[in-house]
Structure 1
Amino acid sequence: MNYISTRGGTEAVDFQTTVMTGLARDGGLFLPESIPDIHAELSAWATLDYGALAFEIMRRYADLPASDLRTLISDSCAAFRHPQVAPVVAVDGVHILELFHGPTLAFKDIALQFLGRVFEYYLARSGRRLNILAATSGDTGSAAIAGVCGRAGIRIFVLYPHGRISPMQELQMTTVPDDNVFCLAVRGSFDDCQSIVKTIFRDLEFRDRYELGAVNSINWARLLAQIVYYFYGVFQVMARCGARAVQVAVPTGNFGDIFAGYLALRMGLPISRLILATNENDSLAKFFTSGLYRRGKVQATLSPSMDIQVASNFERYLYYRVDRNPREICRLMETFAQSGELRLNGIGATGVDELIAAGSSATAEALAIIKEFYEQHGYLLDPHSAVGVSVGREFQKADEPTLALATAHPAKFAEAVRRATGRDLAHHPELDALVGKPQRRMILNADVEAVRAFLRERIP
């Protein structure tokens, strides 16, 4: 499989180039030249364990030797605490896909344990080094660090919004003592951090000179790994309920997670509808009901990983929405860059896409869901997962099961759980052990040149 840019300004490249460069050189995002149709394989795949299913899906996109791909997948799965990697539990009629059993207790681990090993695999064969530049709204940073720390030839620089992630999310990053890990607290929002990273990646001379790579969900390998758990979760629910199709509710910030579900749907997975769930930062929810995507001011909430107004992976979705027309993508993205908004015309009664329903859940509603699930069912949700469950309920059907993605362990957001329940319930021994450890971080202004200068100083 080769990969093309959403903006059409580069030649098709192979999987290795796609993974190691992250962002296409024309500023676009990589997508596969075609999406495999797997309808004929569905029944055979439905009974596979997680690792075997991952191999069947990934081999259609990654031109790696089969034995090497199996090893990369097996080693990645071994990093998880649960033998199923992503088990499904049923709570109050909702099927919850637990994606938080990895090293940093967040769904990002599933992709970044794989990506870190793929980086190391290619670097060992090329003799190159890689300097990863990443922006995080909370969970990507620690998961990326866990995926690459101690791996030969890799440094990682993580930008995060100062004071706008949970204390535990920050501790997971800043207490890592490895010399190849650098945490940069930026005075601004996640959108500021992401803008800095994109600006630096667009400077091709700087990017090449300092051998920069990406672990954010702009990197195709992230999405590839995430496609797998949609198949695994939907298959489990179908087997339990005897259902022909499943709705999937997805807490959404940067549009990467739900876009992986969109790709799974296009491959042939029987998802009847994706349910996009946002918090008060609801620019995506408004787009899917009105066709207007407008950059708003980021509001700080108790679900900080969703405190995003400019979603990187949205461009990938738009590419398919405009019939794979790179010129139209360039026009739309230029319009958005200049005016802060873009509009799609011809919106029907069901919104932009009949396959994607959308809604938002305010903090108070998410806290009420956390309280209800704990008091009535003894199950703790983190605030992001609670947003997904809350919005998922709005679109629930009596004759069709709903799968809700649980994206983080509640202990990562102990304050939100405390506010919801009035009790200090959310703990995990590995997180509790981080409290009081020495931290390493640098606080910078939201300025591209300040970050460039930091990179120059730290990369020999």
Structure 2
Amino acid sequence: MEYQSTRGEAPVLGFADVLLAGLARDGGLYLPVSWPELSYADIAGMRGASYADVARTVMAPYVGDSIDGEAFGTMIDEAYATFRHPAVAPLVQLDANDWVLELFHGPTLAFKDVAMQLLARLMDHVLAQRGMRATIVGATSGDTGGAAIEAFRTCERVDIFILFPDGRVSDVQRRQMTTVGGDNVHALSIDGTFDDCQALVKAMFNNHGFRDRVGLSGVNSINWARIMAQIVYYATAAVALGAPERAVSFTVPTGNFGDILAGHVAKRMGIPIDRLVVATNRNDILRRALETGRYETSGVEKTQSPSMDIQVSSNFERVLYEALDRDGAAVKRMMAGLSQSGAFTIPEAALERLRAEFDAATTDEAATAAVMRDTLAATGYLPDPHTAVGLGVARACRGNPATPMITLATA
């Protein structure tokens, strides 16, 4: 499998190089040149299979021969053996066709563990093969940092630096990042927002001299391997509720757009997904962009779902590239507009394609608290604030009541 940049000017790379590169040298994000397809028989064959076995089936086309198949399988087994639940990502039923996909059974209790535990093993393996070291720099709005540090703290060939916005992560998330022993771990508090942290990371990647000198690599969802690993639980959830014969819908609490992008890719691969619903808190730039066609940043508001307190959703660039028929020059112009003025306009044809793929709605602070309270009272299940944002949107945007609606429980 080969990968191309969303801005059209970086070299085409194989999987192992994309894994280590993170951000493309032209500032874009890597995507496969084409989407592999799962057959009806492939999807049906996932019934009764372990999470690790489904992961092998889903991810193998993206890795190709870049990594030995047996070694890749061992890394998958080791990554998901760190999870507390044997299903890795179990489904919990709240109502007749109302489900929660629990993604918080990993070491740091956040959905980022699902990809990060595998990513660390993949990177350490490739670096060892090449006799290299890497310096990982990442930005976090909360859960990425703890998951990355936990996953990479024992890696022998990696030094990791995580930037987080001071006062804008939870106390638990801050302690997960700042109390881990390990000479290769560095958590840095930044006076600013997540978007400021992310901008610093992107600036480092775009300084090619610095990037090459320190062997810079990334673990944010700008790294394609993060997205790849998250495709798997869309497949396991859909199969558990009747795929390939029956379609399901997903509602995804969304900040940087990586998690719901994985759902989009799962659908492109052939997993029968009816609707993908973007759930936002008051930081609702994605909802506004899909409604109006104008992607325009504003100040980041602090909410009780801090991992979603984001204005610049990096992975939106990947679906924009798809919606623009993979026109890298057009994406580059629009990203330049975002950098210069904090806004760009989505062309009408591309906007219609995005609207055909994604719905979006917002759960505000009062409604989030109400969802938590009402869900506990009705079912005995207490969702965290991020999941509650998703549940609120799922209930407001429900389509066909006969189609299962699965809300991703991210923490």
Do they fold alike, i.e. is TM over 0.5?
yes
Call closer, same or farther: CA 1:73–1:351 in 2, change over 3 Å.
closer
Work out whether 1:39 is the aligned partner of 2:39: yes
Of the candidates 74, 77, 92, which is equivalent to residue 71 of structure 1?
A: 74
Q: CA deviation at 1:388?
A: 0.5
Work out whether 1:164 is the aligned partner of 2:165: no
Once the two structures are superposed, residues 413-443 of structure 1 have per-residue CA deviations (whole angstroms, 9 ceiling, x without a partner) of xxxxxxxxxxxxxxxxxxxxxxxxxxxxxxx
Q: Distance in 2 between matches of 1:190 and 1:196?
A: 10
Question: Identity over aligned residues, as a percent?
Answer: 46
Aligned residue number for residue 103 of structure 1: 107
Aligned residue number for residue 456 of structure 1: none
Work out whether 1:150 is the aligned partner of 2:141: no
Does structure 1 retain, via aligned residues, the 8 Å contact 2:44–2:239?
Answer: no
Does structure 2 retain, via aligned residues, the 8 Å contact 1:250–1:388?
Answer: yes
- SS of residue matched to 1:31: strand
Q: Distance in 1 between matches of 2:154 and 2:48?
A: 35
Kindly provide the amino acid, as one letter, of the partner of residue 367 in structure 2.
Answer: E
Aligned residue number for residue 342 of structure 1: 344
Does structure 2 retain, via aligned residues, the 8 Å contact 1:289–1:352?
Answer: no
Q: CA deviation at 1:238?
A: 2.2
Call closer, same or farther: CA 1:349–1:120 in 2, change over 3 Å.
closer
Kindly provide the amino acid, as one letter, of the partner of residue 179 in structure 1.
Answer: D
Does structure 2 retain, via aligned residues, the 8 Å contact 1:280–1:363?
Answer: yes
Aligned residue number for residue 403 of structure 1: 406
Kindly provide the amino acid, as one letter, of the partner of residue 226 in structure 2.
Answer: R
Work out whether 1:85 is the aligned partner of 2:91: no
- SS of residue matched to 1:301: coil
Of the candidates 384, 392, 397, which is equivalent to residue 382 of structure 1?
A: 384
Q: CA deviation at 1:398?
A: 1.5
Q: Distance in 2 between matches of 1:16 and 1:258?
A: 24
Matches within 5 A, 1:378-457: 378-396=380-398, 397-408=400-411
Aligned residue number for residue 224 of structure 2: 220
Mean Cα deviation higher: 56-65 or 296-305: 56-65
Of the candidates 299, 302, 311, which is equivalent to residue 300 of structure 1?
A: 302
Q: Distance in 2 between matches of 1:96 and 1:109?
A: 17
Call closer, same or farther: CA 1:294–1:349 in 2, change over 3 Å.
closer
Aligned residue number for residue 360 of structure 1: 362
Aligned residue number for residue 22 of structure 1: 22
Q: TM-score, normalised by structure 2?
A: 0.96
Q: TM-score, normalised by structure 1?
A: 0.86
Does structure 1 retain, via aligned residues, the 8 Å contact 2:248–2:273?
Answer: yes
Does structure 2 retain, via aligned residues, the 8 Å contact 1:161–1:190?
Answer: yes
Does structure 2 retain, via aligned residues, the 8 Å contact 1:287–1:352?
Answer: no
Q: Distance in 1 between matches of 2:123 and 2:352?
A: 42
Q: Distance in 1 between matches of 2:410 and 2:155?
A: 26
Q: CA deviation at 1:236?
A: 1.2
Work out whether 1:13 is the aligned partner of 2:1: no
Q: CA deviation at 1:347?
A: 6.3
- Higher Cα Rg, which structure: 1
Does structure 1 retain, via aligned residues, the 8 Å contact 2:249–2:406?
Answer: yes
Q: CA deviation at 1:349?
A: 11
Kindly provide the amino acid, as one letter, of the partner of residue 25 in structure 1.
Answer: R
Does structure 2 retain, via aligned residues, the 8 Å contact 1:280–1:360?
Answer: yes
Q: CA deviation at 1:48?
A: 2.1
Kindly provide the amino acid, as one letter, of the partner of residue 26 in structure 1.
Answer: D
Aligned residue number for residue 266 of structure 1: 268
Mean Cα deviation higher: 380-389 or 395-404: 395-404
Kindly provide the amino acid, as one letter, of the partner of residue 391 in structure 1.
Answer: V
